[in-house]
Structures are given as C-alpha cells and as structure tokens.
C-alpha cells in the first residue's frame, strides 16, 4: 500500500513540475512581447514608449535566460508569490484563494446534491431492472445530460427568482444565493452518477457473496445496505473525483450567469483582460488541485478495493 502511495505522490510531483513549465511559458505563448503586454495593461494604452518597455524588461528580469527566469518564477511560486494582477493591482495569491474557496463550496454543494439523489435512485433502479423506477431514472438521466447549463441557468432564474421570488437571481451573499447555482450545476453529474451507480450495483447484485447473503436470510434491503453499497460505490468515488476536479475551473458558464466570484469567472475575466499573472496562478492552482484530488481518489479506491492493493503490491 505504501509503495502504491509513494508512486502516486511521485507522479503528482512530476505532473506539477510539468504544469509549472507550461504556466511559466504562458506569456511567451501569447501574442507579443511580455514586457509590452504588461506595460499596455498598466497604462491602458495600445501605444507604449520603447524606453519604458526596455526599463520594464530589466525590472522584471525578462532580459535573462529562460531557464533563469523559470527558476526565479518557480521559487517565488513555491512561496506563494505569483505577483500582482495587471487589472486589480492586488496580490494574485489572495484573489486565487478567495475564488478557490467559492468554487470549492459551489462544486461540493452541487456534487453533494447529486450524490444524495443519484445513489439511492441508481440503487433502486438496479434492484428492479426494467421496472417503473428504472424506466423513470433512465428518462430523467438522459434528459438531464441533454440540457445545457447555459439554458437551465436562465430558466432557473426566470422561475425561482423572477416568477416565484424564492431565491436571489445572482450574487454570492449567503446560503440562499448558493442554492440555485448548485442545483443547476448538479444536474449533469446527477445523471452520470445515477447511470454509474445503476451499472455498478447490477454487477454487484449478481455476485456470489450477494447470493450467499440472501441465503443466510437477509432481506434484499439488508443485503444491499450491508454488502452492496460499499462495492457499488467504488466507480462513483472515481467519477466524483473527476467531476470535482472539473467543476473547480469548469463552471465558467454558471459562475458568469449567476455573477459568482469563483475560479471560472476569475479565469474568464483574466482572459478578457490578458491578466497573465492571474492566468498563470489559476492554471497552476486548478491543475494542482485536480491532480491532488485524483491522487486521493486513487488511494481511496485502493482502500475500498482489495484487488487494487494486491495488483499494485505484485507490480
């Protein structure tokens, strides 16, 4: 087990190192001289003085070799220093911290709603394949997958905010402003969680240990709760980690429509304003968190499934 964890952590560090290289190169992959881009954003003018560009290039150390610049940038990044935003003039790390907290809250709320509904629904559908619950679950999940968030979000605002007046239409001010965007964001993972739970539970319910449990006199409900849910939840854990990693920076549409100050909206505004330090830090933070979440999911997967531990022990 420890060998497996060590390997996963080694992959994690290697991935972060590669990501740091790509993040550092963002100014050089964009169109134009990085010093010119910085100066244009500071003076808010397309025409810049060439002497000022040269002075800024020396001030930022852009006249050094790429390797020297990268090592300097990496050292600062490891200490949490990603510089200052071109637009707000605020430390980037502070902006990233606030936005990440908002996105994590939104993503965990959405996935929590999805899990609470999907696991019982998928399990009930698996116990009666082809029955009314299974048919209804299939119809609902296929419908939710087909509905895009940029349509569902305005419809939610129209019904629950403008027509019924139950929830705020936008902003980030307390629990009430979390409900509507979390519900919109939960619909697609809800569909996938339900389908995966149903498929996993159908395999589990056909296993010999389930037959043995039933032969000992356990009811179907007791058998499912004691022996089925844990094994059926293993694919859901993997899917949960993938969705969580994806939603941290991938909920741009929902965050922009509901005016939520999360990572998606921060990245959207940074792209519009060509705010390179924010883009670099956002890229590193999202990929680092995604890799960390998937690493933790792999470790949890090994804890839940003894076959995975045995496979890695003999690898």
Q: How many angstroms separate the Cα of 123 from the Cα of each of 120, 135, 199, 214?
A: 5, 13, 9, 17
Residue 310 predicted with pLDDT over 70 = no
Q: What is the pTM of this model?
A: 0.78
pLDDT mean across residues, the chain: 81
Half-sphere CA count of 214, side-chain side, radius 13 A: 10
Q: 30 versus 121: which is more confidently predicted?
A: 121
- Sorted by sequence, the CB contacts under 8 Å of residue 202 that are 6+ apart come out as 126, 129
Apex 259 CA angle, 118 and 191, nearest 5: 15
Tokens of 24: 């550092």
Tokens of 92: 């980037």
Go through the domains of the chain in sequence order and give each one's CATH number: 1-79 (no CATH), 92-312 (1.10.3720.10)
Tokens of 197: 């739970």
Residue 314 predicted with pLDDT over 60 = no
pLDDT score, position 130: 80
State pLDDT tens for residues 168-192: 888 888 788 889 999 999 988 888 8
Per-residue pLDDT band for 307 (boundaries 50, 70, 90) equals low
As beta bridge partners, residue 84 has 91
pLDDT score, position 46: 64
User: Best-predicted range by mean pLDDT among 10-14, 80-84, 185-189, 291-295?
Assistant: 185-189
Apex 176 CA angle, 283 and 159, nearest 5: 100
Distance of CA 304 to the CA centre of its chain: 23
- Sorted by sequence, the CB contacts under 8 Å of residue 191 that are 6+ apart come out as 140, 141, 142, 144, 145
Q: How many angstroms separate the Cα of 91 from the Cα of each of 112, 299, 302?
A: 32, 34, 39
State pLDDT tens for residues 191-210: 888 888 888 888 887 777 77
Residue 297 predicted with pLDDT over 70 = yes
Cβ–Cβ < 8 Å for 106, 260? yes
State pLDDT tens for residues 228-279: 777 777 778 778 878 887 887 777 888 888 888 988 888 888 888 778 888 8
pLDDT score, position 29: 74
Burial of 164 (0-12, 13-18, 19+ CB in 10 A): exposed
Residue 306 predicted with pLDDT over 70 = no
Cβ–Cβ < 8 Å for 95, 266? yes
Cβ–Cβ < 8 Å for 86, 279? no
Cβ–Cβ < 8 Å for 72, 61? yes
pLDDT score, position 112: 92
Cβ–Cβ < 8 Å for 314, 46? no
Residue 304 and residue 237: Cα distance in Å, rounded?
Answer: 10
pLDDT score, position 113: 92
Tokens of 119: 């696991």
State pLDDT tens for residues 16-63: 888 888 888 887 776 667 777 776 666 666 666 777 777 777 777 777
Cβ–Cβ < 8 Å for 276, 30? yes
Residue 199 and residue 136: Cα distance in Å, rounded?
Answer: 15
pLDDT score, position 311: 61
């Amino acid at each position: 087990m420890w060998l497996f964890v060590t390997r996963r952590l080694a992959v994690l560090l290697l991935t972060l190192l590669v990501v740091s290289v790509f993040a550092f190169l963002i100014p050089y992959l964009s169109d134009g001289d990085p010093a010119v881009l910085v100066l244009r954003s500071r003076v808010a003018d397309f025409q810049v003085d060439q002497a000022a560009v040269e002075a800024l290039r020396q001030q930022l150390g852009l006249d050094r070799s790429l390797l020297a610049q990268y090592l300097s940038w990496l050292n600062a990044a490891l200490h949490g220093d990603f510089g200052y935003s071109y637009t707000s003039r605020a430390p980037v790390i502070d902006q990233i911290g606030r936005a990440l907290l908002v996105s994590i809250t939104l993503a965990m709320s959405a996935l929590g709603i999805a899990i609470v509904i999907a696991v019982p629904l998928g399990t009930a559908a698996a116990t009666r394949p082809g029955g009314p619950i299974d048919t209804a679950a299939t119809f609902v999940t296929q419908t939710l997958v087909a509905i895009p968030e940029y349509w569902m979000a305005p419809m939610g605002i129209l019904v629950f905010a403008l027509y019924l007046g139950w929830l705020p239409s936008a902003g980030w001010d307390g629990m009430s402003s979390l409900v509507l965007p979390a519900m919109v964001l939960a619909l697609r993972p809800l569909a996938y969680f339900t389908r995966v739970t149903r498929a996993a539970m159908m395999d589990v319910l056909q296993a010999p240990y389930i037959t043995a449990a039933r032969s000992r006199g356990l009811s179907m409900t007791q058998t499912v709760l004691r022996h089925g849910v844990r094994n059926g939840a293993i694919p859901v854990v993997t899917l949960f980690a993938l969705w969580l990693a994806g939603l941290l920076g991938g909920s741009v549409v929902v965050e922009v429509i509901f005016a939520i100050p999360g990572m998606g909206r921060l990245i959207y505004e940074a792209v519009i304003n060509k705010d390179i330090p924010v883009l670099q830090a956002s890229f590193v933070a999202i990929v680092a968190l995604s890799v960390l979440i998937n690493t933790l999911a792999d470790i949890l997967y090994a804890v839940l499934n003894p076959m995975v531990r045995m496979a890695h022990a003999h690898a």
